[in-house]
Amino acid sequence: MAQATLDLEISRGTNFGPVTIYCLADGVAVPLAGYSAYAEVRKSANGPVILDLAPVIEADDALGLITLPEIAFALTDPLPAMDAKWDLILEDPTGKRLPTLVGGRVEINQPITQPA
């Protein structure tokens, strides 16, 4: 599987997601039974984790679906406005970590509207 690019935009104080990622090879779903998925937002590779995207491999893992679950507004509100990066990696059933599956830029912004 080649790395795909997916840029994310998170508005502080609003809900984000969910986002569904399809793992395909030559147009065919990649079975993910026994795999684990990890995805984090950071300013740089060695910087602190700004947000754990907590990816979930869906129950019917033969479909190759990974979901970044919804993140509640209470968790996005304290995030600083910034440009950051994210990626998602898989770990196979033997514990081998695979190269980045998908990743990209993350824009965390402050919405103009501020409801009371």
Q: CATH homologous superfamily for 4-109?
A: Macroglobulin (MG2) domain (2.60.40.1930)
Structure confidence by residue, pLDDT tens digits, 20-71: 999 888 888 889 999 999 999 999 999 999 999 999 998 777 889 999 999 9
SS3 28: strand
Does pLDDT of 2 surpass 70?
no
Structure confidence by residue, pLDDT tens digits, 85-105: 999 999 999 999 999 999 999
Strands (E), 2-116: 4-5, 8-11, 19-22, 24-25, 28-29, 36-42, 49-52, 56-57, 65-68, 82-91, 102-109
* Other Cβ atoms within 10 Å of 48 Cβ, number: 8
Nearest one of 82, 80, 81, 88 to 104, comparing CA atoms:
88
Say what the pLDDT of residue 91 is: 96
- Provide the residue ranges of all domains of the chain, joining segments of one domain with +: 4-109
Say what the pLDDT of residue 1 is: 55
Say what the pLDDT of residue 26 is: 84
**Model confidence, pTM:** 0.90
Query: Considering the chain, what percentage of its residues have pLDDT values greater than 90?
Result: 79
